């Protein structure tokens, strides 16, 4: 019986590179594969699956939220590979589960487990519940040599813990971290933002006081 696989890792853990290597091996053996990706992932071109190492392939199927994968032709397919699977809906994951069983095709899904706020993505959560095999693609923390388990997002050079979960950015915007470094950077950013807010409030108060002083003591 073919299996449904979930291979997850933090940003920068070479998940897509791993996917492309598997795809290359199948094609070298003359086997037919299907490459899928969510249509919201347009960082390297809408139909391209590209790793940060520079390797790339064209996606065969773009998955939209309302996509139905039942209509696709799976005859002769030896393997299905899905990149950035965290962005698909739970319904798509359930269809991939059925495809692996009904057509006896292994389905390998690659993606993030959690968002930058530490919560499971919808697609990843359903995969954790349904996958036959769950494997971690490991990477080290951006700040130390511990294993990374968190995805840290930077906005204007500071760590962020608020905002939309689905926001595709360049490499410099997201960093793999261990939990210790993740918490430190979040807390440091909160302190800096509080100081900036107080500075703005103080500056506004000073301007208001100067304005009142001019009104009370007009120039003769």
To the query of whether residue 171 is one of the catalytic residues in this protein, the response is no
The tokens for 119 are 């919560």
Predicted model pTM: 0.85
CATH (domain of 48): 3.40.50.300
User: Which tens digits make up the pLDDT trace of 140-163?
Assistant: 999 999 999 999 999 888 999 887
Q: How many structural domains compose the chain? A: 1
Answer yes or no: is pLDDT of 131 > 60: yes
User: Is 219 inside a domain boundary?
Assistant: no
User: Is 58 inside a domain boundary?
Assistant: yes
User: Is 207 inside a domain boundary?
Assistant: no
User: Is 215 inside a domain boundary?
Assistant: no
Provide the domain limits for residue 112. Answer: 4-196
User: Which tens digits make up the pLDDT trace of 120-129?
Assistant: 999 999 999 9
User: Is 131 inside a domain boundary?
Assistant: yes
User: Is 157 inside a domain boundary?
Assistant: yes
Q: Which of 58, 72, 84, 162 is catalytic?
A: 84
User: Is 206 inside a domain boundary?
Assistant: no
User: Is 65 inside a domain boundary?
Assistant: yes
């Amino acid at each position: 019986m073919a299996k449904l696989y979930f291979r997850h890792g933090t940003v920068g853990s070479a998940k897509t590179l791993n996917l492309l290597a598997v795809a290359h091996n199948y094609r070298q053996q003359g086997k037919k594969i299907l490459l899928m990706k969510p249509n919201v992932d347009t960082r390297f071109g809408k139909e391209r699956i590209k790793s940060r190492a520079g390797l790339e392939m064209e996606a065969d199927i773009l998955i939209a939220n309302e996509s139905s994968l039942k209509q696709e032709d799976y005859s002769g397919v030896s393997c299905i590979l899905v990149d950035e699977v965290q962005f698909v809906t739970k319904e798509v994951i359930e269809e991939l589960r059925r495809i692996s069983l009904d057509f006896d095709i292994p389905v390998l899904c690659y993606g993030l487990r959690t968002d930058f706020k530490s919560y499971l993505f919808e697609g990843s959560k359903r995969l954790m519940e349904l996958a036959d095999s769950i494997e971690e693609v490991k990477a080290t923390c951006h700040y130390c040599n511990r294993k990374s388990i968190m995805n840290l997002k930077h906005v204007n050079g500071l760590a962020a813990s608020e905002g939309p979960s689905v926001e595709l950015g360049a490499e410099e915007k997201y960093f793999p971290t261990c939990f210790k470094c993740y918490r430190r950077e979040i807390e440091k950013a909160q302190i800096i933002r509080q100081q900036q807010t107080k500075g703005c409030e103080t500056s506004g108060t000073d301007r208001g006081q100067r304005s009142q002083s001019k009104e009370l003591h007009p120039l003769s």
